[in-house]
Amino acid sequence: MAHSLSAKKRIRQNVKQRARNRARKTQIRLSTRSFRESLRSGDAAKSAEALRQVIKTVDKVAAKGTIHKNTASRKKAKLQRQYNALVSKG
């Protein structure tokens, strides 16, 4: 158990920050899920809009420092490849 005031404050800050980070990561998962569902439907226009939304979300989360910028870049590139495969196929 923390005894000093600064350690107690750090615990309070960690709890808040963990909640924020978890919410941001959940946003990424939800937007990615909707993008993958639009890919499965085969609608290129709907998929393009969903991809833009995922990229926007990932960039925002990376800018806040919740995920590393290279992780964000890797996620975006993977989703872009999936979208490109759909467009080239159809």
Can you give the pLDDT at residue 9?
96
pLDDT at 90: 67
Domain that holds residue 23: 5-89
Residues lower than pLDDT 70 in the chain? 90
pLDDT at residue 1, rounded to an integer: 84
We report the CATH number of the domain holding residue 46 as 1.20.58.110
Which of 53, 13, 20, 14 minimizes the C-alpha distance to 34? 53
Asked if residues 31 and 54 have their Cβ atoms less than 8 Å apart, the reply is: yes
- What is the domain count for the chain? 1
What pLDDT is attached to residue 29? Answer: 98
Cα 42 from Cα 36, distance rounded (Å): 10
